[in-house]
Amino acid sequence: MKLSVLTYMAWGASVTVMLAAAVILLSSVLGMGLALTRLYAWPPLRVLAAGYALITRGIPLLVLLIGCYFSLPYLGITLPVYAAAIVVMGFYFAAYMGEVFRGALMAVPRTQWDAGRSVGFRGLQNFSIVILPQARRLCVAPFLNTSLSVVKNTSLISAIGGWELFSTGREIGERTGELMPAYLGVAAGYYLICFPLARLASYLERHSHA
């Protein structure tokens, strides 16, 4: 590939990284809210949070992206492509992040609550000082694995007119007529983005109980 083509793909990759980072941040915040709601909130709210997670994970992300982006204007809501993609993907992956955080919190033994109370911690203090650090260690590896899915699914925003790494490869392939090299370059780009996360997740999975 020529240097200009590689530079163009590098720009596309940078957009992918920024999009993924924004989605991961938003879905993490929303996911933690879902996890806390399912575990500690008023029972009707727990049911709503559980229903949201179940329904969201049962619908393909592409359907939600296209449906929301092209339906919202009928409700008087018009969002730029990237803002819409971040919001939709953020709420979508919140269902997955919520399960990651909920599983980690549930994995902390109930006796740890008692241990915290025995040294004088109560309520939120007990949760933040005793429970949360242990849950954070347990959830890092699955959190990174879910983040990998976020990175790879940014390619779907091309369906609503977004431009990122996959769109870059498609444009190059259509202009040059060399589709195979272009898509191989796209695959290599995603691999280079995901490889550090995958390696870190594998390392943490091996050493999480060390």
pLDDT the model gives residue 106:
95
Residue range 38-64: average pLDDT? 96
pLDDT the model gives residue 141:
86
- Ramachandran sector of residue 177 (left: φ over 0; alpha: ψ -120 to 50; beta: rest): left
Q: What rounded mean pLDDT belongs to the chain? A: 92
pLDDT digits (tens, 9 = 90+) for 119-176: 888 888 999 999 999 998 889 889 999 999 999 999 999 999 999 999 999 999 998 8
Q: How far apart are CA 65 and CA 68, in angstroms?
A: 5
- Cut 0.85: pTM above it: yes
pLDDT the model gives residue 12:
95
